[in-house]
Structure 1
Amino acid sequence: MIIVENLTKDYRRVLRHEGFLGSLRTLVSARYQVTRAVDNISFRIDEGEMVGYIGPNGAGKSTSIKMLCGILVPTSGKVEVNGLVPHKNRMENTRQIGAVFGQKTQLWWDVPVIESLRLFRDIYRVSETQFKRNLELFNELLDLHEFQNTPVRQLSLGQRMRADMAAALLHNPRLLFLDEPMIG
């Protein structure tokens, strides 16, 4: 279950003064520009629900998902995922979720896909039996066997997205976040 109440995320950017003396002045008395990425959103998603999160570019969708994953800390508001506050219970939350971010891979760029998956197997403490079972499923659904021995940097975008999906699902998470998963 996901509970989000009055969630807000602001980013602060230092307004720099020009020149050497300006840089010193910035160090002593910095001024900031605040950009609000997420503005007081609230929603609830019950277990078993499948939800699409849509909106225009810059609406805060990716930022919201990163707060649900525990990657970003909210400026204000409440976030709860499966009874946990994601940024405070990062390790436990990570064991319960999977995430695919279309613009960024979680796989190691210079190693074959299968080696990244083996590393995730060890990180998430997936048994060898479960690993093999999941790998068979991924081969069936995602045709992973076609490129599992290829370094990630040599994959097409579509292949990388399929490999990222396998990595996100490897540990059988209770919850899966997909942020622009269809770009490839």
Structure 2
Amino acid sequence: MSVIELQNVSRAFTVSRRTGWRRTRREVRAVDDLTFSVEPGEVMGYIGPNGAGKSTTIKMLTGILVPTSGAIRVAGVDPSRNRLKLAKRIGVVFGQRTTLWWDLPLKDSFAVLQKLYGVPRARHRENLATFVELLDLGDLLDVPVRALSLGQRMRGDIAAALLHDPEIVYLDEPTIGLDIISKARLRAFLAQVNKERQITVILTTHDLDDIEALCSRVMVIDHGHQVYDGTLEGLRASQSAPRTLIVDLATSHPPITIPGTTVTKIDGPRQHLTFPTTTSAAPLVAQIAADYPLVDLSVTEPTIESIIAKLYATPPSGIGNS
């Protein structure tokens, strides 16, 4: 049974604009006829350009906003009608805002949350000990939240969102502004928590490395419309993004000529050949090894950034699900 269900959901806003002495109003649909479901334990990347409707969708899923039309069920209830009941079953992390108390030590924020959510003390202590260890928060518990770095605060926010054992967690830009080490630590933690506790995760992010590291499914929206829903592999295939053979030869050599490949760059003895995603690399590698003085070779997949950019440039009518 799906833990999140949206059926023909739209959310419209009225925007006013003054021109001279006249004021005009127009309706803007931030989300337009959105339908999808999410299964328990699934990690779904929810991505799109600024203004695509991601934050509006998350606000409707948490009950902050009410849909203009359509129906939403989260954990079996209508979010807008059951905000308090649902609050105990979900966790939310906003990358640029904190749910922690600014002037309190981190441990006191965790204590307040235990009271707010009514978590049994033994369970709270167990969860806290686990998250403090996994997120390396031990030396930070007595530090006021305002004195934490962005990476430290983010680790605290994620622990806070999980302390009450939510079934669903919404992560809005959880790695924004973090350094490479902090990002890797958070990704490893989230992957472990999802695997061990089967928490359903909806991840909105502009850092597509987060998507590749964590998500089994990706949904792309643009101007409130769903333009793709499927796996990363399916997304790559849907846009026909080429793969690249990076070939190191013993000496500089004229462009390699093999049917089905295109030499896009030559740098001394190194050549870059692109070929379709649907083509196996094995016969190409065998032919290069037989016909050229091969020293080394590697295959690179198309970057997710290039695929998403190509997807946005495709008219919506030409994009299907996978």
- So what's the TM-score if we normalise by structure 1? 0.88
Q: Secondary structure at the match of 1:167?
A: helix
Over residues 70-109 of structure 1, what are the superposed CA-to-partner deviations in whole Å (9 max), with x where a residue is unaligned?
Answer: 1111111111101100010001111111111112111111
Higher-Rg member (1/2):
2
What is the CA-CA distance between 1:120 and the residue it aligns to? 0.7
Alignment partner of 1:57 is 2:77 = no
Write the letter of the residue equivalent to 1:11: F
Give runs of aligned pairs for residues 141-160 of structure 1, distance below 5 A. Answer: 141-160=134-153
Partner of 1:164: 157
Identity %: 49
| Counterpart among 74, 81, 85 of residue 81 in structure 1 | 74
The structure richer in strand per residue is 2
| Alpha-carbon separation, structure 2, partners of 1:7 and 1:15 | 26
- Could you tell me which amino acid in structure 1 is paired with residue 39 of structure 2? D
Q: Distance in 2 between matches of 1:9 and 1:108?
A: 32
Q: How far is the alpha carbon of 1:122 from its aligned partner?
A: 0.1
In the alignment, what sits opposite 2:124?
131
Deviation by residue 1:109-144 (Cα, 9 ceiling, x = unmatched)? 121111111111001001111111111111111111
CA distance in 2, matches of 1:80, 1:128: 30
Deviation at 1:179? Answer: 1.0
Select the structure with the greater relative contact order (CA < 8 A; seq sep ≥ 6).
1
Task: Work out whether 1:91 is the aligned partner of 2:61.
Answer: no
Aligned to 2:12: 10
Please give the alpha-carbon distance, in whole angstroms, between the structure 2 residues aligned to 1:122 and 1:182: 28
CA distance in 1, matches of 2:106, 2:149: 12
What letter is aligned with 1:39? D
- Structure 2 Cα separation of the partners of residues 101 and 79 of structure 1: 21
Output the CA distance in 1 between the equivalents of 2:112 and 2:145.
14
Alpha-carbon shift at residue 31 of structure 1 (Å) = 4.5
**Match for residue 71 of structure 1?**
64
Aligned residue pair count = 175
- Give 1:100's aligned amino acid: V
* Partner amino acid, structure 2, of 1:137: T
Structure 2, unpaired ranges of 5+: 179-322
CA distance in 2, matches of 1:157, 1:136: 22
Please give the alpha-carbon distance, in whole angstroms, between the structure 1 residues aligned to 2:175 and 2:52: 18
Q: Deviations over 1:33-89 (max 9, x none)?
A: 332211211101111222111222211111111111111111111111011000100
Query: Match for 2:115 among 103, 117, 122?
Result: 122
Alpha-carbon RMSD across the aligned residues, in angstroms, is: 1.7
Match of 1:176 among 169, 175, 194: 169
Output the CA distance in 1 between the equivalents of 2:105 and 2:14.
Answer: 38
